[in-house]
Structure 1
Amino acid sequence: MMIQSLLDTDLYKFTMMQVVLHHFPGADVEYRFRCRRTGVDLAACADEIREEVAALCTLRFTEDELDYLRGLRFLKSDFVDFLRLFQLDTRYIDIAPAPEGGGALDIRIRGPWLHTILFEVPVLAIVNEVYFRRTQPQPDYAEGRARLAAKLALLGQPGQEACKIADYGTRRRFSRDWQEEVVLATRARLGTQYAGTSNVWLAARYGMTPLGTMAHEYVQACQALGPRLRDSQVFALDTWAHEYRGDLGIALSDTVGFDAFLRDFDLYFCKLFDGVRHDSGDPEQWGERMLAHYAAHRIDARSKLLVFSDGLTAPRIVALYERFRERCQLAFGIGTDLTNDLGYEALPIVIKMTRCNGQPVAKLSDAPGKTMSDDPGYLAYLRQVFGGAAEPAP
């Protein structure tokens, strides 16, 4: 059984889930799986993935796990009480070889948002682990440890003590055991540079800081749940601030394009949120524009946090740190390159929300290939409303 605890997921699934419980308990959603690389035979893994997901759906939160969640100041008692009753349900997820063939895998998740939101991260982790067990039955852990040691040596150089590193690698990890080894080694080598992990199970088990706020699905859902489409991003930020009252103050900047985000992220939000997270597009340009945006609103960027989390590597982190250090606060969330680098090509897989309450929703990415929708007409309309780049639908 690959997933042995419902805590084995990213913190932002719980923080978003609490917002769903309190503000959108009746919302229904659909998610779709996608592998961004062609020619990968995941269809052969379908039966084993289905078995692992069935095992995932037998899990319940234990009393110790609930006590841990109750100790997080931003999670409210009624939400933790709801989790006491929670269990994932196989009725809401379908897994099968894709009709188009070629080894593609079709995973569809449909049902109440409140009861499906916790599928994404463990299902992606299962797909990864099943695939690599099949293709790499004798993993080269010595190579993985050597690669990890080189990365940590680069990140832990003298003079970089303020370069804060976090693990964001649950969904595309090589395996659960490997992520655990990597995270423990990272904390041991980097010491105070290590900020924590997005993985709640690891955070609870080893006394680490759990990290995370919101993901694209939350802002996407607000396209259907808000008063009107053009105001959906503002509605998402306002609802988040209303729920958390100053906690979890990192805004996600790229759901409908960075230009649209800057238009919506006015003086009120600049002051209200502690910082902003980058997840697509050129990080140097993004950082410069974000600092200029703060300056235009007469805000000292040194009081704000920029979080970089898009496809980071150790050399990339060092370069970004050197460019932006002392101009703002910085944090770096490193995912696949940390938890799935044993010398094998990682799987570029995602599960994205495509519909909410029967209406299409989408992310307009600042990076080619990351836009995902099942409705090209809606994508065109979304770009018209928010002024996004004309990237073709997949």
Structure 2
Amino acid sequence: MPLIPTLLDTDLYKFTMMQAVLHQHPAAQVEYRFRCRTPGLDLGACIDGISAEIDALCALRFGAEELDYLRGLRFIRPDFVDFLGLFHLDRKYVHLARGDGGGLDLVIRGPWLHTILFEVPLLAIVSEVWSRHGGRADREEGRRRLRSKIGRLVEADPAAEIAIADYGTRRRHAGDWQREVLGALREGLGPRLVGTSNVMFARELGMTPLGTMAHEWLQAHQALGPRLRDSQKVALENWAQEYRGDLGIALSDVVGLDAFLADFDMYFCKLFDGMRHDSGDPFAWGERILAHLEVNRVDPRTKTLVFSDALDIDKVLRLHAHFRGRCRVAFGIGTHLTNDLGVPAPSLVIKMTRCNGQPVAKLSDSPGKSMCEDAGYVAYLRQVFGIAG
């Protein structure tokens, strides 16, 4: 049985972005690169197992019932589902080799429309193959920790006000473990569990699939025009044109919060349902977002702040207490739910680095989360957006 059993075993925002790419940028060419942020992992020792799983991934096709499920999502258009009926992932776009010092050299390069679905399953493959190779994870310890987390949330939130979502596919210990975690969360948290980013599990378990856009959507617009300085505004406008008011959570940290707020004017404040935090101090971020909404004559209580950066239960409880009653708040939790089994989980990412032959970058609000191999472009990007180096 392959580690990735279906092409639905990915995050919803990959499909929402892919639909927009089909309609707006079908000819765009991109490059993604893998990075392990955890030092000292000999991922190169797992290369044969990873390669075999990539082959199995590229043999998958969407089944008729899977396409019917996607067709039933209110924001998915019929022509996109028809396209997916012909789609498969092509191995020729993935370049895999041993890297320096025991690392893994993994690059995805090709048409954006035909490569966008690689990221999440590839990360899940690397994470699970590494977990099997390392062999130190303790599922009984993972279950004990999960029960403790569920108990703490229920005890701290008797009125079921806290909204939790599973965002853990890309760094999960294993696919069957994520399924077990979701079952335990659904039983233990009840209405506090509002959904999962994983489309396969949402379909299988009767849950709500959740997601809007990722960093790559805004990054790609740095190369898609018309002007670099306008790239965020164009990306947000194009998103609004695609979804006409649906899927209205904007990502705020592609070139830093200062630049985001400069672009996110009254029009966008009123147009979008909320914003997602993914780097930097979440409390300071939330305070600045609420102040920005008020300056733009928008009642923060009508908007949702989604927190998704390295969350654990302590942080969820503190953030909820801090912003409760001032706005709507939701939490997307990843590794802390799906890969907390008594041993440190590797921090793995795949990020877009080029689009149409030009470098693109994410200038994160957290040190170490930025990713671009072209220092000259990063300096230029900072200059254009007025960001201190």
Q: Any residues of structure 2 matched to 1:48-127 within 5 Å, and which?
A: 48-98=49-99, 101-127=100-126
Q: Which residue of structure 2 aligns with residue 233 of structure 1?
A: 232
Match of 1:380 in 2: 379
SS of alignment partner, residue 101 of structure 2: coil
Tell me the CA shift for residue 389 of structure 1.
4.1
1: CA distance, partners of 2:175 / 2:338: 9
Residue 362 (structure 1) aligns with: 361
Per the alignment, residue 309 of structure 1 pairs with: 308
1:148 counterpart residue number: 146
What is the percent sequence identity of the aligned residues? Answer: 65
- Contact preservation (8 Å) 1:364, 1:388: no
Distance in 1, matches of 2:159 and 2:309, equals 20
> Deviation at 1:160?
5.0
Mapped to 2, the partners of 1:366 and 1:140 lie a distance apart of: 34
1:147, distance to aligned residue in structure 2 (A): 0.4
Tell me, in whole angstroms, the C-alpha distance in 1 between the residues paired with 2:328 and 2:68: 32
Distance 1:219 1:380 in 2: 18
Structure 1 CA distance for aligned equivalents of residues 192 and 98 of structure 2: 43
1:312-356 deviation per Cα after TM superposition (whole angstroms, max 9, x unaligned): 000100000000010000100000011000011111110000000
Residue equivalent to 1:39: 40
The worse-fitting range, judged by mean Cα deviation, of 146-155 and 14-23 is 146-155
Deviation per residue, 1:279-329 (Å, 9 max, x gap)? 000000000000001111121110000000000000100000000010000
Residue 251, structure 1, aligned to residue 273, structure 2: no
Mapped partners of 2:223, 2:103: distance in 1: 29
Q: Which residue of 2 aligns with 1:262?
A: 261
> Offset at 1:37?
1.9
Deviation at 1:39, TM superposition (A): 1.1
Change (3 A) 1:320 1:44: same
For the residues of structure 2 that align with 1:233 and 1:154, how far apart are their CA atoms?
A: 39
CA deviation map 1:47-81 (0-9, x unaligned) = 11011001000000000000000000100000000
Contact 1:309-1:332 at 8 Å conserved across structures:
yes
What is the alpha-carbon distance in structure 2 between the residues aligned to residue 259 and residue 160 of structure 1?
Answer: 36
Q: Which residue of 2 aligns with 1:332?
A: 331
Whether 1:321 aligns to 2:308 is no
Aligned match of 1:216: 215
SS at match of 1:171: helix
The one-letter code matched in structure 1 to 2:139 is Y
- Alignment match, 1:28: 29
AA at the equivalent of 1:67:
D
Residue identity opposite 1:148 in structure 2: L
Q: What is the one-letter code of the residue matched to 1:194?
A: L
Distance in 2 separating the partners of 1:188 and 1:34 = 35
Matched AA of 2:342: G
Which residue number corresponds to residue 17 of structure 1?
A: 18
Q: Within 1, Cα distance between the matches of 2:356 and 2:255?
A: 19
Counterpart code for 1:332: F
Farther-moved stretch of structure 1 (42-51 vs 5-14): 42-51
Partner of 1:94, secondary structure, is strand
Cα displacement string for residues 194-213 of structure 1 (whole angstroms, at most 9, x for unaligned residues) = 11000000001111000000
Residue 156 of structure 1: SS of its match in structure 2?
Answer: helix
Structure 2 residue identity aligned to 1:299: V
Contact 1:354 1:374 in 2 (8 A): yes
TM value normalised by structure 1: 0.97
Structure 1 residues 39 and 11: CA distance shift in structure 2, 3 A: same
Which residue is equivalent to 1:194?
A: 193
Q: 1:356 to 1:308 in 2, by over 3 A?
A: same
Distance 1:365 1:389, change over 3 A: farther
Residue type of the alignment partner of 1:73 = R
Q: What is the identity, as a one-letter code, of the residue corresponding to 1:365? A: S
Task: Output the CA distance in 1 between the equivalents of 2:213 and 2:386.
Answer: 23
For 1:183 and 1:385, the matched residues in 2 are separated by 44
Unaligned runs of 5+ in 2: none
Q: Which residue of 2 aligns with 1:182?
A: 181
What TM-score do you get using the length of structure 2 for normalisation? 0.98
Contact 1:43 1:105 in 2 (8 A): yes
Asked whether the 8 Å contact 1:154–1:315 carries over to 2, the reply is no
How many pairs are equivalent?
A: 387
Shift of 1:156: 1.6
Aligned 1:263-302 pairs, distance under 5 A: 263-302=262-301
User: How far apart, CA to CA, are the structure 1 residues paired with 2:159 and 2:90?
Assistant: 46
Amino acid at match of 1:52: E
Give the aligned residue type for 1:56.
Answer: L
- 1:388 Cα deviation after fit: 2.6
Q: Tell me which residue corresponds to 1:7.
A: 8
Measure, in 1, the Cα distance between the counterparts of 2:387 and 2:128.
35
1:177-224 superposed Cα distances (whole Å, 9 cap, x missing partner) = 000100111111110111100000000111100000000001000000
Secondary structure of 2:283's counterpart equals helix
Unaligned segments of structure 1, at least 5 residues: none
